[in-house]
Structure 1
Amino acid sequence: MGNYRTKLSRAGIKDVAVNAGKRSSSNPEGAASRANIKRPRRGEVNFLPNYPRGENKDTLETQRLQMVEEFKKTLADRDMMLVHQHMQRTFALRREEIVNLAPPIAELQDRWPALFSEAQLYGEFHRITNQNLPFSFFAALDRNAPQLLKLYKQRKTGAFGEKMADLLMAYEEQDKNDINAARTAALAGLPLYLKEDSSEIFKSCKEEEFHAFQEGPVALVAVVDEEDVATGIPFQPLHVSVILEDQVVMSHRSWTDALVFLFGLIYALHLSYPEKLSGFFEFIQVVLLNLDDGRKQLKPKLQALRNELE
């Protein structure tokens, strides 16, 4: 296999070549062979593809610049068909830049503005994983929400249990015909059930306080008009913003839709899961979306929850 990978690398297959050229007798100053290895970790089907046939870096850069010009126009005047075609063609260039260089979010917003629009973000997720993100996510969430809520009602002891009780009390006050209420409750209770602290990631504030909350590497900040919000996740926010590296990158009226944006951006921008909510995001990845990363088994608490849902 080592010889086969060497041949693939010399042939220019980027998935392999990205980890080639490490320290050797001919390259003594190179990085150690196992340092910063870049590989699919979360069920990515297209991790680092080659350029399309007939394209090179210069032709793809021309298409990128055309998309930037389109996004300088008003929404009504943009040629979204052209943007979609160019996003498809420039996928390999974009992944090469994101995976190899890991540029700041502000720079990516300038270079790839289409990536932070809803339709193109979902398109990018499909290109990476071959999955329709919103359809798969909400179908699995709706299927598992009733059982999750039953499990939450059994978890009422300790510090996390008190917060769970507050969440369930807030849920009982919602319209039971509103599917979004059950979705929000199922997701809001998940970190509590897994005993993870979501306070630094999931936040809520008043409109006049929003600027002060617009900080941190990763956050979902919900603007509300109520005084107290259980677990920082409101059932009826005014709007919810996705924060990455102190930048507001996307927004939505629904908290659950904003979370889907955040999950899609983690894949599209090759970001790590927030450490304090790693179990929460791994549950979405492996249990809800069935994006297996090749590990033999989940963490014990996630495997136990998965067994309860089967």
Structure 2
Amino acid sequence: MLERGGHSSPGEPANKNIKKAKKRLNFLPNFPDGFDQTGLEDACKILVDEMQKRTPNGQLVKEKMDLTFALRRREVAETKPAICQMVERWPALFTEDQVFLEFNRIVGKNLKQEFYESIDQHSRHLIEIFRSKRGNVGQLLTQLLQQTKTQEPTDIRSTVLRGLPIVLGDKPTDFFKPCFVNSADDHVFQDLDLGILLVEHEGAVSPSSLHLNPASFKTVIEGEVVMESVKDLPKAMCLLFGLTYALHLSYPKPMKNTFKFIQQIFPSTEISVLIWDKKSTFG
């Protein structure tokens, strides 16, 4: 999908000057009628001040985020700010509601609804593929399926999203990083361009099984934790997918095939045909 550089030198933070998407740069909306750069900067300051409150006014935040959309898009596309700068300047963008709203502003679609509905619609076919695999891949998928204790939607979605990178030949261990709630070690994620931290309470499980059933999730972009206390894997993946659009980010190299699959295949009504016919893709 996108072209992006690799990590910085060892010991340095994740690359802060990575190439952004070219195919989405065409969408640069005009400033709202009656507003110039100065007026939108004033609205941006109001947003920052509001987000510093213990309980921000959700309606005010939405109104100002809608108003400043064109300014934000130009900054992302033209100046390519580091993520740490975006978090400071646009803190509302890194909230669950605004990730989904920003995706809708850009693409005109309900990301959360389409993401979940697509997984739910095709999960049975994907799990059948998981069960049909043999060899090392089959062993990993069998272990994964054995950990799926219920048929609740969240558990099934998690199984699908954890199994896809295995089937597609990605390296999920370079994307999903285990950590403990109170861990002060930032080496776990400081070199991640994009990734998800699987957070467990101290001593709850052994490190080797930490990734199986974490207490919560965090999303990481360019070595920065940008969203915390995400309650489940499907939501964490959905939010990170939305942020790649909002921030013109590359898909993470260790999960490039999985993210492409989510982008190109999940929305398709022909998924079952594509899955069963493309033997070269699934081996």
What is the TM-score of this pair, normalised by structure 2?
0.81
Q: Does 1:287 align with 2:265?
A: yes
Map of 1:1-310 to 2, 5 A cutoff? 39-41=22-24, 47-75=27-55, 78-158=56-136, 160-171=137-148, 174-176=149-151, 178-209=152-183, 211-212=185-186, 213-215=188-190, 216-224=192-200, 225-227=204-206, 233-234=211-212, 236-251=213-228, 252-290=230-268, 304-305=274-275, 307=277
Following TM superposition, by how much is the alpha carbon of 1:185 offset from its aligned partner in structure 2, in angstroms?
0.5
Following TM superposition, by how much is the alpha carbon of 1:69 offset from its aligned partner in structure 2, in angstroms?
0.8
Q: Deviations over 1:182-238 (max 9, x none)?
A: 1111110001111111111112233354634232221101113333667x753x321
Following TM superposition, by how much is the alpha carbon of 1:129 offset from its aligned partner in structure 2, in angstroms?
0.6
Q: CA RMSD in A?
A: 2.4
Contact 1:40–1:47 under 8 Å retained in 2? no
Counterpart of 1:50 in structure 2: which amino acid?
A: N
TM-aligned CA distance change 1:303 to 1:97, over 3 Å: farther
Distance 1:155 1:229 in 2: 24
Following TM superposition, by how much is the alpha carbon of 1:112 offset from its aligned partner in structure 2, in angstroms?
0.4
SS of the counterpart of 1:288? coil
Contact 1:203–1:221 under 8 Å retained in 2? yes
- Which structure 2 residue ranges, 5 or more long, are not aligned? 1-18, 279-283
Following TM superposition, by how much is the alpha carbon of 1:247 offset from its aligned partner in structure 2, in angstroms?
1.3
Distance 1:214 1:250 in 2: 13
Distance 1:38 1:227 in 2: 39
Counterpart of 2:71 in structure 1: which amino acid?
A: L
Following TM superposition, by how much is the alpha carbon of 1:163 offset from its aligned partner in structure 2, in angstroms?
1.6
Q: Deviations over 1:29-55 (max 9, x none)?
A: xxxxxxx896435xx9x8221112221
Runs of 4+ off more than 6 Å? none
Counterpart of 1:240 in structure 2: which amino acid?
A: F
Counterpart of 2:93 in structure 1: which amino acid?
A: L
SS of the counterpart of 1:242? strand
SS of the counterpart of 1:199? helix
Contact 1:238–1:253 under 8 Å retained in 2? yes
Following TM superposition, by how much is the alpha carbon of 1:271 offset from its aligned partner in structure 2, in angstroms?
0.3
Distance 2:42 2:58 in 1: 17
Contact 2:198–2:215 under 8 Å retained in 1? yes
| Structure with bigger gyration radius | 1
Distance 2:144 2:198 in 1: 16
Counterpart of 2:233 in structure 1: which amino acid?
A: W
Distance 2:167 2:184 in 1: 28
Contact 1:161–1:192 under 8 Å retained in 2? no
Counterpart of 2:206 in structure 1: which amino acid?
A: E
TM-aligned CA distance change 1:37 to 1:120, over 3 Å: closer
RCO higher in 1 or 2 (8 Å CA, sep ≥ 6)? Answer: 2
Contact 2:95–2:227 under 8 Å retained in 1? yes
